[in-house]
Amino acid sequence: MLKDLSRSPSPYVLVIFGALILLLGMGTRNSFGLFLQPMSLDLQLPREVYSLAIAIQMIVWGVSQPIFGGLADRYGAGRIAVLGGLFYAGGLLLMANATGPFGLHGGAGVLVGLGVSAAGFAVVLGPIGRAFPLEKRSMALGIASAGGSTGQLFIAPIGAALLDTMGWASALLIMAVIVALIIPLALGVKGRSTTDSVSANSLRKALIEASRHSGYWLLCGGFFVCGFHVAFIATHLPPFLSDHNLPPMLAATAIAIIGFFNILGTIASGWLGGKFRQKHVLSYYYLARAIVIAGFLVFPVTQISVLIFAGAIGFLWLGTVPLTSGLVARVFGPRYLGALFGIVFFSHQMGGFLGAWLGGYMFDLTGSYDLVWFVAVGLGVLAAILHWPIADGPILRQTRPAEEA
């Protein structure tokens, strides 16, 4: 049976099951901000402790992503996604039984980090990127990536309702059962790179090749900013709204709205990436993020302004993923997409570490998130600048036609 995990199903089955895995994994992951304040208060911990747990998760996710991506390229995405489901559920179980920093850092940090990595974008998008021709690849990646947004739309309100009626420990236990569904869904993304798409380059040569391409490092820099934005907002928007004496359910509603508009934005980014140069679309996405965040700071924080902000930032939330992964596949070919995108994703997680941790640290230090919001604006402008000069033409190899198939 495990041998069959190396055979790829049809391209459209890959998209459906990949989207479902991301729905469960990313939807649950993006609900963690709801637990920051109740767990910190109940366990009598400063916000920095929970923030550090999320920051550890980002680093573990980022460090392990290239490894899991490379293993998925070699042994099949299905096998690695099964591991992801096991790690993820185990992390939530440890988190549910937390009595102090160890349970948070080990559960929400290390185990969930491994789980969301092994069942995350680099693993799931790899076989999808290889299954579609170049002209359809960006759209397919966009549709699959939208699964993460759909999960955010549904799981955040479920998490908030469970939190309100049952408390954080019971809510986390139920969410552990939900993410365990990743394990059977992994059968739908089985498959690995085949010899038909293998070039003369080994993985090592492909990594050296990418490291010598300036555009690869610019993509890493831009994706660092994406991670900072997403982690800071997902982790600290709920307590930020609570600090402004807004209703608790507003945070869950905002996260759900981010998820809904992200579905539209991710699919739109996939379509735009197929019509226009992906590096230019990325620049406009990051510039738009900076404008939206700046606007949120300028106007008073009210229920209406929060909902408008959630819709606008949601449209720009994960639209960078299909564009960035598509650009990696375009320049370097799809053969080692899992490993090469995994390294770019590591820079995303480095940004996520800083965004999640810095938010809690600065709040404990100053009693306000204002400085971190301003940093987010500046980073958005910087990312827009970084993407514009990327050399996005396919690199020339002797075996290029086979590799781009």
**Interval 224-238: pLDDT, tens:** 999 999 999 988 998
d(CA 211, CA 63): 17
Both tokens assigned to 25: 């994994």
Whichever domain contains 84, its CATH number is 1.20.1250.20
Q: Is the pLDDT of residue 260 over 50?
A: yes
Stretch (H or E) spanning 17 = helix 11-29
Residue 404 in domain:
no
pLDDT at 39 over 50: yes
CA distance 183 to 171: 20
> Do 30 and 234 contact (CB within 8 A), yes or no?
yes
Does residue 1 form part of some domain?
A: no
Q: What is the pLDDT of residue 126?
A: 75
pLDDT value at 275 more than 60: yes
Residues 6+ apart with CB under 8 A from 181: 24, 85
- Give the domain extent around 14: 8-192+205-396
* Residue 200: predicted pLDDT: 40
Highest mean pLDDT among 176-190, 267-281, 381-395: 176-190
In a domain, 172, yes or no: yes
Kindly state whether residue 199 falls inside one of the protein's structural domains: no
Residue 93 has pLDDT above 70, yes or no: yes
Most confident among 142-151, 337-346, 363-372 (mean pLDDT) = 363-372
Q: What is the mean pLDDT of the chain?
A: 84
Which pair of tokens denotes residue 303?
Answer: 């229920």
Measure the CA–CA gap between 98 and 102, rounded to whole angstroms.
7
Alpha-carbon torsion angle 399, 400, 404, 405, nearest 10 = -40
Interval 326-334 mean pLDDT? 79
The reply to whether 97 falls in a domain is: yes
Neighbour count for residue 99 (Cβ, 10 Å): 8
Is 140 a domain residue? yes
On whether residue 232 sits in a domain, the answer given is yes
Q: Which of 21-25, 40-44, 198-202, 229-233 has the lowest mean pLDDT?
A: 198-202
What pLDDT score was predicted for residue 133?
76
Domain annotation covers residue 197: no
Q: How does residue 198 score in pLDDT terms, banded at 50, 70 and 90?
A: very low
| Long-range contacts of the stretch 9-13 (C-beta < 8 A, 24+) | 9/188, 9/189, 9/190, 9/191, 11/128, 11/131, 11/132, 11/140, 13/188
Total number of domains constituting the chain: 1
